[in-house]
Amino acid sequence: MRVLVAMSGGVDSSVAAALMKDAGHEVVGVTLKLWSGPNGEAPTAGCCTVSDAEDARRVAAQLDIPYYVLDYTKEFRDGVVDRFVHDYASARTPNPCIECNRTVKFDRLLSRLDDFDCDVLATGHHARVREGDDGFSLHRGSDKAKDQSYVLSMLTQLELARIWLPVGELTKPRVRAVAAGMGMRTARKPESMDICFVGQRDYRGFLRQNAPEVFSPGPMVDVDGTSLGSHQGIVEFTVGQRRGLGMAVGEPRFVIRIEPETSTVVIGGRDDLAASGAILDTTTWTSGDPGATTVMAQYRAHGDPVKSWLDGSTLTFDEPQEAVSPGQTIAFYDGDRVLGGALIAETIR
């Protein structure tokens, strides 16, 4: 097989490339150039920095595989960065890394497999793809603590048929051991945590340039409409937030919702925070729509899945959930198998 490996410069995708090569495949490594600042400067934080690309290049050289940098800056700006800014301005929780996976990494690279004369795309994600009688299925990775199936929950048969996730079969320590055993420069590299295009976690500076409206002052009100004063911009708040509300005494108070049209931040008690369910948007299924069904729903990258009833675009939690907010990705599981995913359009109180 000819395998295209998306190499970020991290240890996981380095090992993915090595495993593919060891398995006797003809491997081509690529790094996506996704972002450069206003003056063309490359990002210094996140998953796609200059030094990351250099690491990927050196690993590819060590593996003796051809390696290329592909320019996806336009697609990234249109599909991920603009969406990030729009989400902030409309008080939705942005998911830039998931959007990047969906609209750039998988969509674009898979659509070009033929161009590169490759049969499959391999990445360094911690999840597993299985082929059975009913087609391909997506499962949690072997290392439950590092599982990334949540961010892949939007994949469908179309993609799963052409994606390999070799490191999903290994635990993270095993991945590092493989890398170390091969003397790979990325073996002990720390994991990237930052969003690549904002850098150094300075999302405020980025938004100040790109979405100044999120810094405009607005009213802060109680759930019953009582005015609680004003705030300096909705950028300071997320649903479920308790700190920084300027009310340290009495019952714990939380951000219940944000109304972007009027820049209003609504405050309430723990009871007000609880969501009984959610209205979903852009639902996808890994193996087709199962109809109304019980699912285990996970609405945070490393949160515990909760038992829920899914019927069309309405999801109802068995137990009310806190910190559910519009814009979040929600993944549906049956055991460790991913059934599908969706975006939360609105919460049901």
Partner 1 sequence: MIYLDHAATTPMRPGVWEAMTEVASVHYGNSSGVHGVSRDAKNQLEQAREEIAALIGASPLEIVFTSGGTESDNLALKGSAWNRDRRNGAVVSAIEHGAVLDTADVLRRSGAPTQVIGVDADGHIDEEQLLAAVDDTTVVVSVMMVNNETGVVHDLETITRMVNERDPRVLVHTDAVQAFSSQDLDVSHLGVDLLSLTAHKFGGPKGAGILYVRDGTVLEPVLHGGGQELGRRSGTHDVASAVGLAHAMRVAAEDRDRFRIEVGGLRDQFEKTLVAGIDGLQVNTPLVDRSPHHLNIRIPGVSNETLLMRLDRAGVAASAGSACQSGAAEVSHVLEAMGLTSDEARESVRFSFGWNSTADEAGEAADIVIDLVGELR
List contacts with partner 1 (CB under 8 A). 28, 31, 33, 40, 42, 50, 53, 57, 66, 68-71, 112, 115-117
State the Cα–Cα distance between residues 229 and 246, nearest whole angstrom. 10
Q: How far is CA 6 from CA 12, 57, 79, 85, 235, in A?
A: 10, 12, 19, 26, 33
Of the pair 40, 250, the CB lying nearest partner 1 is at 40
Asked about 48 being catalytic, the answer comes back as no
Here the tokens at position 8 are 């970020």
State the Cα–Cα distance between residues 70 and 81, nearest whole angstrom. 18
Q: Shortest distance, CB of residue 122 to partner 1, whole angstroms?
A: 17
Q: Shortest distance, CB of residue 101 to partner 1, whole angstroms?
A: 20
Residue 122 carries which side chain, given as an amino acid letter?
A
Of the pair 110, 160, the CB lying nearest partner 1 is at 110
Q: Shortest distance, CB of residue 191 to partner 1, whole angstroms?
A: 22
Phi, psi of 344 (to 5 degrees): -80, 115
Given 47, 48, 100, 118, the catalytic residue: 100
CB-count burial class (<10 Å; 0-12, 13-18, 19+) for 286: buried
Q: Shortest distance, CB of residue 29 to partner 1, whole angstroms?
A: 11
State the Cα–Cα distance between residues 27 and 65, nearest whole angstrom. 6
State the Cα–Cα distance between residues 340 and 81, nearest whole angstrom. 24
Q: Shortest distance, CB of residue 286 to partner 1, whole angstroms?
A: 29
Of the pair 50, 228, the CB lying nearest partner 1 is at 50
Given 47, 48, 118, 196, the catalytic residue: 196
Of the pair 53, 342, the CB lying nearest partner 1 is at 53
Asked about 97 being catalytic, the answer comes back as no
Q: Which residues contact 175 (CB under 8 A, 6 or more apart)?
A: 11, 12, 15, 167
Of the pair 64, 261, the CB lying nearest partner 1 is at 64
Q: Which residues are catalytic?
A: 100, 196
